[in-house]
Structure 1
């Protein structure tokens, strides 16, 4: 049951049926049993994984598509404006124009342009991109445009499947703010625990084919779930213990083979039959068990990067300098496209820098997690992929390590090309674990992992007796793992000696940029808004009233009775000062709305 303002997250392991449930709600997939009741007038918006765009159409024009009706109304209004000079039909023209203008205003036509620009800015599209054709965009950018179209259409029920994929941190933060203020219902499938906490008010967990709803944030959900599971298991074990005790007593009484003892046994059997027999609590989904164990210990200085620069067709970044010491866990942050993955490839010696130096420390062995999973041979089976990389392992050892990563039985003979992103990610992690490196370089290691797998990986990395450098958009993961943050820009790196919470607290320059952008966006959106005009009129009335009050009180100060009454004179002076302060605040607000 959902109300019209609820915001719910759906969580569960990969394959639990989360996306299927969204498709059922959207009426894109049938269901076997049960009921689904959605009023006919509820408009549902669904962010599909497949997007069809006119690739020749401009980006801005594509985002105008949800406003087709408003654009037609606006076009007709322009036509009527051209006819207003015709005195013969003036009354009919004005009558139609007034009706269209009222409708245009009521349906948000005057805010249309500012809303589109706000979405483009929020999703990370700079103004010089707005009128370029859709065909130049990457898959991730097209997904962002699809998300923008969906948000602009303002459905009554917004269905989002992993909406933070393809967004950088700044865009994710913008989306969080947008959804928090969204006045209608939202259902989101996400593995981003930080996003879930920021946006949603309840969590639906799908596990073992059943759903449970928790009216709380993620951390509280995890605590409640563990507590409930522990209590259920304790009750079940106590129940089993009591059943066993009673059955043993019955068997003993029957063994005596006496009339009285047999009657007592029969009485106990009746009591046992009436006794509640609890079902064993559902088993938790199988866990991956990870332990990264370096073969050798590195020196204290693990990595030193000095004044690094890189350019391809155009400059990518320059003046990148930082160092990493043994046992540090360093998170590398920065906007999409800034060159974070390229920096990793430079450290791995896959590319040569345009300028600067990279020095790898003594006895440093690097293990790399590639988010694109390019190290995997798509034609290989899972078994062959491990065997080719580690030929010294026998069949039993390979099957055992595969089972540890939840590839059991005939699963090991599946080819890489048929696996999901999460399954491929587990294979890359498996190979990384087997390599026994002491410096892990991880590029988006939590991509495609469900929440449970993320938590297993986090625990393994926290126990890892080596050094870690990672890229991630998963703020929950960053906050748990990072002991230091490097914030990368085009012309350098800013260091924050703490976790993600510390980084947020001290990110003054970045926060100021976001604040300024948001202020500019708000000003634009206020331009022709009727609510704003009403607010301005209300302010003007309040200002006029305050000015009149100040004048009246000031005149009273010259009254002889007041001059002779110190207390009254002092009270009036304080009231005038208070009125002046209110007047100044109202004037500032009035100027803000009119600027």
Structure 2
């Protein structure tokens, strides 16, 4: 198979393998987690942690930086400052440093003001008394003031407020899949899919590179059709699709034209003002899209997407090429979004913050999972270790297969109950959108109590499931 036929993640893995197999004294990694699946990122973290050679990383992946680095170098205001520790520790130290710098600046400004007033006062006295001595003192104080090494007021980060507005809401049933399969001729990626997407769901799609995540998003966006089964699209859907390759952007036009073509009758000032919210100011708005960096294209794509006011967002690796601050602004906007979101991402921090549900490609189909990403991964690690540690002579195995069977049955039963409870929670939460509910205080209270009760049941079931799964894995 030719390299161009591989997915973005598969190409990254090939490139990474090529580099790591060569001898080196220093490893330089520029955004190494872009396009990698989560399992591969965990592997890379483990590899780097066990490596006895130095490495330098540029990355926007906060979780990855927390797990791999012991020092942070930050370029700010034309200087490079270093901080000991990982990313989370850097953020704490940075905040303390900025607060101290601001405090020092305020204190110094008071001292400078006092000295300047004193200089003026000496000159006033000199003129009033015709005293050369006062002018000499003023001159001496001026020299002292000139030698003061001034502290600059730290520049505050210019925050960008992203706001996904919708012109209308969709129906409660966004998508329904019944016994559906999809893929390409001669290559079915997933089959027997029986799932539903409801209004205001926020769903992360998980899976290894090449399993079909991006293809599934294209199916939702109407770019391809399912191979078999029922595929029902809900009413009043306005889809906003974020393509990780930014193919929807026209390279032949400028940044300004990209937005202006959405509102051709709007004044030029409106477009200038709108683009400024996304960091495009001055001559930057006249740049050709073709010459923009990956990060600039990502920001422009977001600006275009938000302007279209969709009520259903389909996002394919939206954090790729964005800096950490911009990712944070995007997270805040998505948390407040009053519509439905289905997304693919390798950014674990982003997934855990945005996703209320996780769907994972598993055993040739798509399944729901309520587990956290770390739990999912480490469960796989445990399984691998147990398989590697199994005695070669299976006759020496002491675990009674009947016990394993009983535990497996319990796990399946609890999983089914958990899925049922999650479905029930979805249904109850949708009740809040009905006028007969939100206009009746008694019904709102009753519904809120029911939701609290089910949330507690779900938490208990997850704890039970985790205990039984650990017990099962230990006995294997």
Is the TM-score greater than 0.5? yes
Shift of 1:310: 0.8
Residues 246 and 268 in structure 1, CA contact (< 8 A), matched pair in contact too: no
Contact 2:181–2:189 (CA under 8 A) maintained in structure 1: yes
CA distance in 2, matches of 1:496, 1:136: 30
Change (3 A) 1:247 1:364: same
Distance in 1, matches of 2:337 and 2:138, equals 56
Give the TM-score taking structure 2 as reference length: 0.73
What aligned pairs does 1:105-144 form with structure 2 within 5 A after superposition? 141-144=10-13
2:295 aligns with 422
1:91-123 CA distances to partner (integer Å, 9 max, x unpaired)? xxxxxxxxxxxxxxxxxxxxxxxxxxxxxxxxx
Of 99, 124, 128, the match for 1:258: 128
Aligned match of 1:228: 97
How big is the shift at 1:320?
2.2
Work out whether residues 177 and 196 of structure 2, in 8 Å CA contact, stay in contact via their aligned partners in 1.
Answer: yes
CA contact (8 A) 1:203 1:213 kept: yes
Q: Distance in 1 between matches of 2:323 and 2:169?
A: 32
Note if 1:211 corresponds to 2:75.
no
Q: Look up the SS of the partner of 1:153 in the other structure.
A: coil
What aligned pairs does 1:17-56 form with structure 2 within 5 A after superposition? none
Q: 1:546-589 CA distances to partner (integer Å, 9 max, x unpaired)? A: xxxxxxxxxxxxxxxxxxxxxxxxxxxxxxxxxxxxxxxxxxxx
Judged with a 3 Å threshold, the aligned counterparts in structure 2 of structure 1 residues 248 and 515 are, in CA distance, closer, same or farther, namely same
Measured in 2, the distance between the counterparts of 1:252 and 1:297 equals 68
Q: Deviations over 1:435-469 (max 9, x none)?
A: 22232221100111122221222222223233322
Q: What is the CA–CA distance in structure 1 between the aligned matches of 2:328 and 2:69, rounded to whole Å?
A: 20
Q: 1:182 aligns with which of 37, 41, 51?
A: 51
Do residues 240 (structure 1) and 109 (structure 2) align? Answer: yes
Give yes or no for contact 1:338–1:489 (8 Å, CA) kept in 2. Answer: no
Bigger drift between 379-388 and 284-293 goes to 284-293
Describe how 1:245-394 pairs up with structure 2 within 5 A: 245-252=114-121, 254-255=123-124, 257-259=127-129, 267=137, 270-271=140-141, 273-274=143-144, 276-284=148-156, 286-313=158-185, 314-394=187-267
Q: What secondary structure does 1:296 align onto?
A: coil
**Cα distance, 1:295 vs. partner?**
2.5
Which residue in 2 is equivalent to 1:165?
A: 34
Q: 1:346 to 1:249 in 2, by over 3 A?
A: same
1:497 matched residue in structure 2 = 370
Once residues 245 and 378 of structure 2 are traced to their aligned partners in structure 1, the CA distance between those partners, rounded to angstroms, is 33
Change (3 A) 1:270 1:322: farther
Matched, 1:402 2:272: no
Which residue is 2:359 aligned to?
486
Aligned CA RMSD, in angstroms, stands at 3.0
Corresponding residue SS for 1:184: coil
SS at match of 1:487: strand
Q: Distance in 2 between matches of 1:217 and 1:506?
A: 24
Distance in 1, matches of 2:130 and 2:172, equals 80
Structure 2: distance between partners of 1:295 and 1:265? 70
Shift of 1:400: 1.0
Cα distance change on mapping 1:518 and 1:177 into 2, 3 Å: farther
Distance 2:91 2:376 in 1: 29
Unaligned runs of 5+ in 2: 393-476
Equivalent in the alignment of 2:459: none
Question: Between Structure 1 and Structure 2, how many residues are aligned?
Answer: 387
Of stretches 270-279 and 462-471 in structure 1, the one that deviates more from structure 2 is 270-279
How far apart, CA to CA, are the structure 2 residues paired with 1:393 and 1:206?
A: 38
